[in-house]
Structure 1
Amino acid sequence: MPEKLLEKLFNDSAQSLEEKVTQEKLCCGRNVKVIDGSTVSMPDTQENQKEYPQHSSQKEGCGFPIAKIGVIFSLVTGAAVALCIDVMNTHDIKLARRLYSFLKPNDVLLGDRAFCAYADMFAITKLGCDAVFRKHQSRTTT
């Protein structure tokens, strides 16, 4: 399937589900979105090897290309509402910054400690949203 067709189907299905969400399904009247990052292995093609090189610990020709993905899910519908793909060594926060544009005012973004950066919390609040992230282990609390 062509990537553009997959992207259109992805966006259309997520949009259709989001439109069906009623006020009583929301958490205190707020739409909660969950953000996370992961890796996926890809078919071993020349194009994929070039675009998404395999991990450096793998012997050349003995591994699959690996891509890093960032996703925002709707807590209400369970649908992925936003997705971005990059090379494997991309940090989750870098992917997240490409996904913030999919948030709508009054959304609450929920994520793990990888997303707990003051600059990002500020950027999210500037969009009219709130963020709930676990405190990063390097931050001290008094």
Structure 2
Amino acid sequence: MAIQRMDNVAIVVNDLDAAVAFFTELGMELEGKGEIEGPFADQTVGLDGVRTDIAMMRTPDGHSKLELTKYHAPVAIGAEPPQPPPNTVGLHRVMFAVDDIHDSIARLRPHGAELLGEVANYENVYLLCYLRGPSGIIVGLAEQTG
């Protein structure tokens, strides 16, 4: 049996409203919010006493989703600075294709976005950059130019 699709990527955040605002500004749509707790959550995650708030965000085309998760119990670990660099083992970053990379950066800066390097030109085909968003999330942006 083969997989049907990739359903979503979950990201643990320390400020759910800030993360929703950030990804909404990027162009994602809030699909819904909810509280998750109970035996099924404990069994699924492998932790006892899970209590979270989640926000499900989707791309405008409806094909990709982010589940933003704020843990109330057990308390999330590693959510404080310093933030790990992009070469840390584990989930590296989430990359989005955008129409205008410079406009996207300008709109995300008021939401705490900081460039990790600078906007790079890859062979006159893409403009690329990494930025750090809420809760230290590394977001990649790519604008096709050629």
The structure richer in strand per residue is 2
The structure richer in helix per residue is 1
Structure-2-length-normalised TM-score = 0.31
Max Rg structure: 1
Structure-1-length-normalised TM-score = 0.32
